[in-house]
Amino acid sequence: MSFIDTVNREYEKMVGETDPVAQLKILTEKMWEKGMFMEMHGKKHPFPTFLKPYFVDMRHRDLISRHTRNIIRGVEKVGKLFLDGYNFEGLVHQEGLIAELSRVDPVYPSFQVMVRLDCFYHPESGEMKFLEFNCGDPSGMGWHDAMLDIFMAMPAIKKLCERFDVHTDHLLESHLNAMLKKYREFCEVKGFPAKENPVFAIVCWKESTIITDVLEIVETYKRRGYTAVFADPADFKYDGEHVTVNGTLIDAVYRDAIDDFIKPEFWPHCQDIISAYRDGNICFVNPVRAATGDFKTLPAIMSDEKYRKLFTEEEWQTMLETVPWTRLIRPGEKVNYMGETAEITELMKGNKDAFVLKPNVGYGGFGIFIGLDCSQNDWNNAVDKAAQPGADCAVQEFVRIPLDTFPVVENDQYLGFQPRKVNINYWSHAGEFAGAFLRAAVGNIINVHQGGGLVPVFFLSEKH
């Protein structure tokens, strides 16, 4: 029996001994108090979760850190090359405002600052497969940290910590450290001294459904002794040199969604902060050019031998081990998969169970077709639609989905531990692994927007 199998078996007993129904009720209520709820069809629903963290062997942390670092370096390289005019044959493309703003130099080096990587991880072997990258506007760090603190007060978790050495990551601690690093780099390039206590504006649309996630960032910064203010993109004033919010001078900005700035309903009202960003007079994180890493076809670059020369040997070795075969769907193009060469749509139709089809740009698991879950006719129709001009879709090999068990409570009844499919999300802050959280669901599309539960990740080892 592996170490993680032992942890899971012992934790199942701990949950059964500590009233799981009452604990889940408290957990859900406290998460609701923190604003952790989902809005679906105009109604608020409790944020789905389980009374169990996801357990990772501490011995795998160095491997996770190395692979995360190499993937982020690869994503950064692709973005820089694209902005410098490298032809990726349509795999990376931008247009409109986001393309224009991606050309704005953020002043500091290394523009992939806060990134979330979606991964399938197998705890028994340490095998990992990175499915896609969320670079432009990842979210959830504030909610994660609030949830983690609530978890740590649960009786079952206290028992776990008595039995094992438990390492957890508050993502906003490294978030702040990354912001300080970027602010200091910004000041160094600009040629003026960095303040010991810079003032941060944490930004999202004031009516955003995830505003409480963003407000957790503000409160964490304040607890660490820094001045932080919440701001809507329309709240900024710019005099050609300085940026202020309600009269407070701002030194650095952390934004949530790019859409909060560039959608037509927002764009006219945020020109002050946009002008300061264009002029290089504000440290702005994530810079808009981070969105060059959002395309579902980036793994196509990292899984195609013809692009190998763009990466170091260490980076490419990580990609060989962790990036699944991916291609942009271009009708008429011949591709090779597992030794079979065929026109791409014919390959997909003839090997339905081997592939997943997804929009090149999107979020929340929407628009994804998994061959295993489709009839042949439905799959063929989806492939035909993806092959139409302007469809812009990617195909990726189907990767074995990890399973774990979680305590299930329904109608105030504890039903024991039941299997769920899981997707771990690694966070990178300023190029380094910062921690993780996990989503678990019954189906093959594992996303909170599709009904999946969110839980923190614990790294464990035996007590010494």
- Per residue in 65-107, pLDDT (tens digit) is 999 999 999 999 999 999 999 989 989 989 999 999 999 999 9
Which residue type, as a one-letter code, is found at position 383?
V
Go through the chain and tell me how many residues it has: 464
- Residue ranges per structural domain of the chain: 3-73+100-168+412-462, 174-285, 325-397
Q: Determine the average pLDDT of the residues in 190-209.
A: 96
The DSSP call for residue 194 is P
325-397: CATH topology = Dna Ligase; domain 1 (3.30.1490)
Q: Tens of pLDDT along 269-297?
A: 999 999 999 999 999 999 999 999 998 88
What pTM was estimated for this model as a whole? Answer: 0.93
387-406: pLDDT as tens digits: 999 888 999 999 989 999 99
How far apart (Å, rounded) are the C-alpha atoms in residues 375 and 384? 14
The contacts of residue 433 (CB under 8 Å, 6+ apart) are 61, 64, 65, 68, 69, 426, 427
Separation of alpha carbons 294 and 314, rounded Å: 23
Which pLDDT tens digit goes with each residue over 20-34? 999 999 999 999 999
Which CATH number among 3.30.70.1520, 3.40.50.11290, 3.20.20.70, 3.40.50.620 corresponds to the domain 174-285?
3.40.50.11290
- Reading the block at residue 117, the tokens are 């990587």
Name the β-bridge partners of 301.
none
Predicted pLDDT at 450: 46
